[in-house]
Structure 1
Amino acid sequence: MGRWIWKYRALYLMSLPGIVFFLVFKYIPLAGSVIAFQNYNIFSGIAGSEWVGLEHFRTMFAHYDFLRILNNTLLIGLYDVVFAFPAPIVLALLLNEVRKVVYKRLLQTVVYMPHFLSWVIVSGIAIGIFSPSTGAVNHLLGWFGIEPIYFLGEESYIRSILIGSGIWRDSGYGTIIYLAAIAGINPELYEAAEVDGANRWRQTLAITLPALLPTITILFLLHIGRFLDFGFERVLVFLNPLNVAKGEILDTYIYQQGLLQQQYSYTTAMGLFKSVIGLVLVLIGNFLSKKTTGSGLY
């Protein structure tokens, strides 16, 4: 083993910063999860805080708002899987069909750019577009005689806005992996299919999608692992008192109760609950993936 490490010492040295990062910021903080079973006091520390067992978990499930917030998180997560996850795949397939290299590079640059905008800027753009007085959407509706709608002030629209803004911001950047996988497909397969009379649509169904399936499977498993982790900042910037009933998720609730109300143990229990659910979903998804496609995360 020592000889093997010495032989590839350059690679191990290059990976060292990443290993240290995950140890310091991902694994060592896991020890702090113990405060979910305590009445944690920041002055007494973990060692001096009182142990209460599963009391915070019972409080969490009995809380009158918990089921509503959990329902919001599950629905938004489901919409994200159904609508946002396939978007980069579809976009990658469309970009792959662009034959002019100049146009293809230009389109790639345009669809990548929103990813580098912060959610604060994205929310500002959305607020401007959906404004009831000056927004482009309401101006368009006015041409058809429809009264202005305050989209961000009605709770029925907040989930659609969250998912739609996420697709606009991240779907372009998400195509990078799929385009790289498409580039690795043997061109002779397309040539043989063309000789057999297959058009581009048929080639996509018979060659491109099957070749992308292992990549799609891995990314899907990673995606469902974050099913309850939709994103704190992504939601917080869109929330207001008028849409909070259907827009609030576990992450924003943890922020309100944990940091603002200083209920550290209670919100740690909620975070631990999220992590366990994510782990279970990954294990189930990986098992089903291996049974159906033969590939998985491990």
Structure 2
Amino acid sequence: MEANTYKKTASLPILKKIIKNWQLYLFLLPTLVYFFVFKYIPMYGLQIAFKDFIATRGIWGSPWVGLEHFQRFFASYQFWNLIKNTLLISLYQLLFSFPIPIIFALMLNQVTRTRFKKIVQTVTYAPHFISVVVLVGMIFIFLSPSNGFINNLIKLFGGTPIYFMGSAEWFRPVYILSEIWQTTGWSAIIYLAALTSIDPQLHEAAMIDGASKFKRILHIDIPGIMPVIMILLILNIGHFVSLGFQKVLLMQNALNISTSEVIQTYVYKTGLIGSQFSYAAAIGLFENVANFILLVLMNQFAKKIKQQSLF
């Protein structure tokens, strides 16, 4: 009786808060409905990863095959190549694409001329709004071995034109550099917003003590935005094994496929083009489980070093 009475009294304040602030919860409702309809209900279809899905029989009518599709993927001759390509591109992206917006935001925050600052922001934000299809088309034009301006510069200095998009060894550098160009300005916005929340009195006190700009960045700005950096780092690690297949697929061709074939392009080809739905679902489930494990491990690591964590 006492336990039941305690539970009822504990739940009453929460219920009162919901009733009192019902307008706020009403605003939250569309988001909850969206996630429930588009994120949770589709998880019902994950069971086809453990079935031999036959469209005419439906999900329930298809026979169970257990871990057969997973075993097939792990035993595939492409497995290690897919893992290597995916992890290498993700690693390079994390090493270069992630810290550059932080450095850019720290540098831009030191600019005092408002007009120049706005021009720089506009120029660096613009590539984010270019569609992936147009962006890849621009990459092919810029890197063309016959009339691309990059190869024209190489020829100007006496070099031999390079067929960048037809060389497997050039795929990763081109992908990462284009990613940096497209995302740096936009990704820096959140760091610039975090920098504005730092108390100006800290900088004033540091200047009185004779601290240089570099020392103020090192000891005030970076620690001030560290919680934001850690949250975004955890989120980045959370999709470490997932690469947006659209850009990779558009840049891919028969000459560079040895380094450009990643898990998501393989899933697209086997699942949608090859109609091997169960096999593709199994690969997708493996990918998401790997991402979830990395997310939890990174979150625990952030807690261990006493930094901001997601949960």
Out of 168, 185, 188, the residue aligned to residue 175 of structure 1 is 188
Percent identity, aligned pairs only, is: 45
- Contact persistence 2:54–2:62 (CA under 8 A): yes
Deviation at 1:55, TM superposition (A): 0.3
Deviation at 1:69, TM superposition (A): 1.1
Return the letter of the residue paired with 1:97.
Q
Q: Which residue of 1 aligns with 2:78?
A: 65
Deviation at 1:142, TM superposition (A): 0.6
Out of 86, 90, 95, the residue aligned to residue 99 of structure 2 is 86
Deviation at 1:2, TM superposition (A): 2.9
Q: Which residue of 1 aligns with 2:202?
A: 189
Alignment partners' CA distance in 1, 2:100 and 2:306? 22
Q: Which residue of 1 aligns with 2:235?
A: 222
Deviation at 1:14, TM superposition (A): 1.5
The residue matched to 1:287 in structure 2 has which SS? helix
Mind listing any 5+ residue stretches in structure 1 that lack a counterpart?
none
Determine if the alignment matches structure 1 residue 76 to structure 2 residue 83.
Answer: no
Deviation at 1:6, TM superposition (A): 2.1
Determine if the alignment matches structure 1 residue 98 to structure 2 residue 111.
Answer: yes
Return the letter of the residue paired with 2:43.
L
Determine if the alignment matches structure 1 residue 150 to structure 2 residue 180.
Answer: no
Q: Which residue of 2 aligns with 1:254?
A: 267
Q: Which residue of 1 aligns with 2:10?
A: none
Q: Which residue of 2 aligns with 1:32?
A: 45
Alignment partners' CA distance in 2, 1:246 and 1:64? 15
Provide, for residues 154-181 of structure 1, a one-character-per-residue CA deviation record: whole Å limited to 9, x for no partner. 0000011111111111111101110110
Alignment partners' CA distance in 1, 2:53 and 2:309? 39
Alignment partners' CA distance in 1, 2:306 and 2:49? 38
The residue matched to 1:157 in structure 2 has which SS? helix
The residue matched to 2:242 in structure 1 has which SS? coil
Q: Which residue of 1 aligns with 2:32?
A: 19
CA root-mean-square deviation: 0.9
Provide, for residues 11-50 of structure 1, a one-character-per-residue CA deviation record: whole Å limited to 9, x for no partner. 2122222111111111111111111000011111111000
Alignment partners' CA distance in 1, 2:208 and 2:143? 50
Name the TM-score, length of structure 1 as normaliser: 0.98
Q: Which residue of 2 aligns with 1:112?
A: 125
Mind listing any 5+ residue stretches in structure 2 that lack a counterpart?
1-13
Alignment partners' CA distance in 2, 1:8 and 1:166? 43
Aligned residues: 298
Return the letter of the residue paired with 1:109.
T
Return the letter of the residue paired with 1:201.
F
Deviation at 1:97, TM superposition (A): 1.2
- Contact persistence 2:70–2:282 (CA under 8 A): yes
Mean Cα displacement is larger for which, 179-188 or 86-95? 86-95
The residue matched to 2:251 in structure 1 has which SS? coil
Alignment partners' CA distance in 2, 1:51 and 1:273? 18
- Contact persistence 2:237–2:295 (CA under 8 A): yes
Return the letter of the residue paired with 1:242.
L
- Contact persistence 2:227–2:307 (CA under 8 A): no
Structure number with bigger Rg: 2
Return the letter of the residue paired with 1:261.
G
